Chain A
């Protein structure tokens, strides 16, 4: 009985997938070259099969029986030959739109993928990594015991144990709290971080019809509408020119989470913690925004996807590590990273929390509500790592990996802006995408590790030291950085 149920389930899933896949694809209609009263001139042209730009616009190369190619089209933009269920593509084929593509290209799908495949695993592992790593730095072992049967994984499963513990703890609400705000605060702390991930480009644009082939970037630059590049999925949810401003705007909201938690708790210490959180935000937020202005001046855009795809200089491939902003904005990198660590509210800037003694705004929280604050903090670490990787370390770019494969020592074509020549190894598009997504994950993980190192190396700043640092050091330096960058840009570039 059980086996039969499994077979039915698998069969049902398989037919669902096949059915969905069948929705997309080509629809066969007769050629416009046959039986027409006035045969278009292009129908008589000879072309090379498999090389799409050898035919005029609106036509594609159809392979003949003798192996040679002849330009052909099944439809044109202004006739109704494809019917209602399909549209005419730029190469004169009737193309049905695939539901699978619609689903995959939906921002929500990308968001779920990013959160489930990268952010949540990383954030949960960070809760273990932080304890293990701090232990290693202090000549201890750290948690290495949690296990499911014989599976131990050096204690990684501690995050499962923690989650289970927090879920099953009593959801205690102290007397006299403001119930609505008390419940809202943890959500306000965690939701903006999830939203801010919308601007992060976590991979290149995928061209599903070309995954097995080596991509031709020149063709892509010249004919972006070619059938091969149809249904492109850009691995970024929210592509807007004000991307980084959006990040500042949204992530600042997370601070309200802390402040409101302090206010709603009906506890003087919590309130003071919340106030410390706001005052700290004041002192780093300005410097943080200004430190990215230099990057904006160099690149000319605040869109993270644009920054990753273009790099600082147009005369180098964007995959060249020397073209990433760490070299062009070293001061900006240091300033931004410092301010961003302050944003995560962790040591050396954990004044709002003061975990070891003064606690802070979530002193009245317990169980999963407290867990949300905690998780928000770890997701912020991942987010800061993702932003620094994207803006300063080339995002998803693998060193020397262009869209068509590894290339060292090439040059950038002036017209197409595509790097060509040099020592070159072709790679299929699918593999390139996988490598680049992996590279993004690796960079983010490395930066998370670096943040943990900082957190366990430095003691906490005093409040006045933080103000001094923010207003008297970071801010003037950020201003100077903007000035110097602008002057260099004006006179030398």
Chain B
């Protein structure tokens, strides 16, 4: 049954009063539960306290300027942080949160130095794609060292599960998902299909060049994002 050691241990930590301890599992105990009766009966004190908290938040959020949205609301003189309210809402179209570096956005096809696509139509990505949403029809590239290139390269963004396996699978660093853009809402399904042309238009040169390091695409990428929180 209960050992004196357990009792001493509990009183030291001012835990609940232990009435009995199980023989087989010392951690299984019967304790005495004390409910604060005085608070339970009228609720008035607790109500007043809670009301104070909510009122404080309400007043602060109602009267102080927004913390976020540097666009309209806080234009003009900058407001000190302690005079801002607590509202955490991101007002989406006007303001966007910074995505993490490895956020998987819309696909792009990277370019060679001469502007042609790096893709060699090796069919690794359509093979690995769990959603079967990549359609590639290869053609002769004319360059014997490259052999093939995609005549048609389509990704159905409605079926894509954004797993990123295509990027992993590509041996040529030809497909990437680092654009930081969402798949856009569309009004008919056909427009959700990314074609070779749209993905090439989004693509800039790869970091990797043939035979070595190349320029950082982020440094050279056209600034397509309106990121107010940067």
Contacts and interface: CB of A to CB of B under 8 A. Distances in A.
A473 B41 contact: yes
Contact of B47 (A140, A141, A458): A458
A137 B87 contact: no
B178 interface: no
Nearest to B67: A139
A457 B42 contact: no
Contacts of A137: 54, 57-58, 61
Interface string B147-171: 0000000000000000000000000
Given A136-B57, A136-B58, A137-B58, A453 B51 contact: yes
Given A141-B87, A473-B42, A136 B50 contact: no
A80 B85 CA distance: 75
A447 interface: no
A138 interface: yes
A141 B58 contact: no
Interface string A272-298: 000000000000000000000000000
B42 A141 contact: no
Q: Which size class do A's interface residues fall under?
A: 10 to 19
B91 interface: yes
B154 to A, nearest CB: 35
Contacts of B57: 136-139
Contacts of A57: none
Interface in A63-90: none
A136 B47 contact: no
A456 interface: yes
A457 B86 contact: no
Interface in A466-493: 469, 473
A138 B53 CA distance: 10
Interface string B80-92: 0000011111010
Contacts, number: 41
Nearest to A132: B62
Interface residues of B, number: 19
Contacts of A135: 89
Interface string A114-157: 00000000000000000001011111110000000000000000
A454 interface: yes
Contact of B58 (A133, A454, A458): A133
Contacts of B221: none
A9 B133 CA distance: 65
Interface in A411-466: 453-454, 456-458
Interface in A141-175: 141
Interface string A366-398: 000000000000000000000000000000000
Given A469-B43, A473-B41, A139 B55 contact: no
Nearest to A140: B89
Contact of A453 (B42, B43, B54, B89): B54
Nearest to A144: B91
A140 B86 CA distance: 8
B51 A457 contact: yes
Nearest to B48: A457
Contacts of A138: 57
Contacts of B53: 457
Interface string A72-114: 0000000000000000000000000000000000000000000
A127 to B, nearest CB: 18
Contacts of B51: 453-454, 457
A66 to B, nearest CB: 65
A331 to B, nearest CB: 11
A309 to B, nearest CB: 32
A332 to B, nearest CB: 15
B58 A140 contact: no
Contacts of B61: 136-137, 139
Contact of B86 (A133, A139, A454, A469): A139
Contacts of A456: 54
Interface centre among A138, A457, A458, A473 (most CB of B within 10 A): A457
A137 B54 CA distance: 5
A339 to B, nearest CB: 14
Contacts of B85: 139
Contact of B50 (A133, A139, A458, A469): A458
A430 B54 CA distance: 40
A454 B43 CA distance: 13
Interface string B20-54: 00000000000000000000011100010011011
A96 to B, nearest CB: 54
A469 B42 CA distance: 8
Contacts of B58: 133, 136-137, 453
Contacts of A457: 47, 50-51, 53-54
Nearest to B52: A457
Given A139-B61, A453-B54, 11 more contacts: A133-B58, A136-B87, A137-B54, A139-B86, A139-B87, A140-B87, A140-B88, A141-B91, A453-B51, A458-B50, A469-B43
22 contacts: A133-B58, A135-B89, A136-B58, A136-B62, A136-B87, A137-B54, A137-B58, A137-B61, A138-B57, A139-B61, A139-B85, A139-B87, A139-B88, A141-B87, A141-B89, A454-B47, A457-B50, A457-B51, A457-B53, A458-B50, A469-B43, A473-B42
- Give 4 nearest A-B pairs by CB, closest first: A141-B89, A136-B61, A139-B86, A457-B54
Interface of A: 133, 135-141, 453-454, 456-458, 469, 473
